Amino acid sequence: MDKPVDISDIRNITISGRIASGATTLAHHIAQYLGWEVLDGGKLFRAFTKDHGYAAERSDQFDLDYEEKIKHILKTEKHRIIQSHLAGFDAQEIDGVLKILVVCEDAGVDKADIRIDRLANRDAFPVDQAKNEVFEREEQNLKKWRRLYANGSQEWVYWDPKYYDLVVNTFTHNQEESLKLVLEKLGIK
């Protein structure tokens, strides 16, 4: 691989989004363009689980420790693109991090049907399994994260645009257009 592209004032990038919003695809396109390493949240989580033990029901402390690991990477490493649900939220108050949110929305309304279809096609899941993954896992995560990070507020969501520097909508932008938006934000023409 060629030498990674240095970007003034940006050491790392986070990419967050709801399940099957297109965050992983965008992360890999940015990494390919910049020569940076993608740290996939799912893989990081599984490695952390293996290193720290995993109970059938993860403890709150487990989640808090995992998010601290993400923050540590963002503060101490360089040329990393961390793609995970809470990476952008974790990066609040950390300098040198571009926080990207990926959504799949039409006029502010989530296109869950498209996200389900993407997941079913990507992972070769039956549609019912993809629906379960999108709705039930998302609700379980929100329930826990609202308790841990938002004092139980039922209005809190990690995909609130206020936590991010850039919002990319994969319903209205294709893969090339999405990458272009990010590169423009980074000052790369």
Domains of the chain: 12-178 (3.40.50.300)
Distance CA 78, CA 72 (A): 11
Q: Identify any residues that bridge with 13 across adjacent strands, giving them in sequence order.
A: 81, 98
Longest dimension (CA), the chain: 48
pTM of the model: 0.93
pLDDT value for 54: 60
pLDDT value for 82: 97
Contact 86, 16 (CB under 8 A): yes
pLDDT in tens, the chain (189 residues): 579 999 999 999 999 999 999 999 999 999 999 999 999 988 888 787 777 766 546 788 888 988 999 999 999 999 999 999 999 999 999 999 999 999 999 999 999 999 999 999 998 989 999 999 899 999 999 999 999 999 999 999 999 999 999 999 999 999 999 999 999 999 997
Residues 6+ apart with CB under 8 A from 9: 96
